[in-house]
Structure 1
Amino acid sequence: MNMNKHIIKKELLVELKNSSSLFLITPTMTVLIIIFPILIENRFAVDEDLFIVSHLLFLIIFSTLFAIRKPIILERLIRELNFGNYKKIEFFNSKVVSEFIIFLPQIIILNILYSAFTNSSVNVSIFYFLFSIIFFAINASMINIIFQIFTSFNNRFVQFILITPMYLALSFFIGPLWLGLGQDIANIYILMYLGITVLIFAVTNFYLERAN
């Protein structure tokens, strides 16, 4: 796999700088946005499935906000890659690794805070829950970077509108898992998610390799 440790280190430093406020502020505010309307309306007894749907909704919103926090400027990226004599495929793989390392802990924090504040939980074992979160984080990171290096949309609002449906599609595999499935069907969903992850990664790497 084409990766460059210097790009990973650089992107990690950039990601950490960009994400310092996201680690606690954004997940906490997201949870509070969910909780306040429920407390105000005194609807303490809310259907568990509704909490899971809201959980997925705010996971998608948070992921989209994370994705558009600092758009990649293609002209600057091309100049930097040419200056360092790096290939786009090296940048893609390295950027995916760095963004995943930063993104995964944040959505774990978001899920923990959501469950703590709402006193709710998903109807799935911790094993399937972690796998679904990991696959979602990997795919969300890849889709974000693919979208940014293959398009020229620098407007955050446009990016929000276009990326949200992609993340919504990813959540279709998480929703049934969190709502509760038998072990055999849950295994099938996990394998499907794995297949999608491998397919996205392989096709993107193949295209970038051919482009170089």
Structure 2
Amino acid sequence: MSAAEVRIGLLGLGTVGTGVVSIISRHQEELRHQVGCPVTIKKVLVRDMKKNRPVDLDDSLITDQIEDVLFDQDIDVVIEVMGGVESTKEHLLTALRNGKHVVTANKDLMAIYGAEILQVAAENNCDVYYEASVAGGIPILRSLTEGLAADRITKMMGIVNGTTNYILTKMTQNGSSYEEVLKKAQELGFAESDPTADVEA
């Protein structure tokens, strides 16, 4: 990783990817202070180059070729927010084998292939950050691995799913139907277009 800056390759520019770009853009000073150098977006992978996007990004940063991200020597960190499992796993393994650190919010991917991804990361001296894939982004993994490392946890209870939490809260507070709240959650980007894993798992 360059000591002068952290250079990001972003996989996906949907609701979450747009949010990532917006946060990086709006919080440059805070990020520089926390990381110790500027954080810049070097390349963004999209499925459709012609799609209009509600984000301020130079067109030269956008690509529909995965190789432009995975094999770019100047990219230090790959942030995956495109979803999917099988092809996404292969993309992240390639990124790790090319010495890139990985950040993902992909709960399905980590549930199925987390052990393999972490092993390849260790073999290539890279880090994988997946806090956002667990419990709706609540920092539970860090709490368990760092803050409670010496404690013995015997039980954990609760609804640790952001989508389900949102739906139940809105149904209770507003008296709305499940279908109404689920539709709204999808419109807001809280729920996937196929919310099965969140609401039936």
TM-score between both structures, scaled by the size of structure 2:
0.26
| Greater fraction strand | 2
Q: Which has the higher contact order (CA 8 A, sep 6+)?
A: 1
| Greater fraction helix | 1
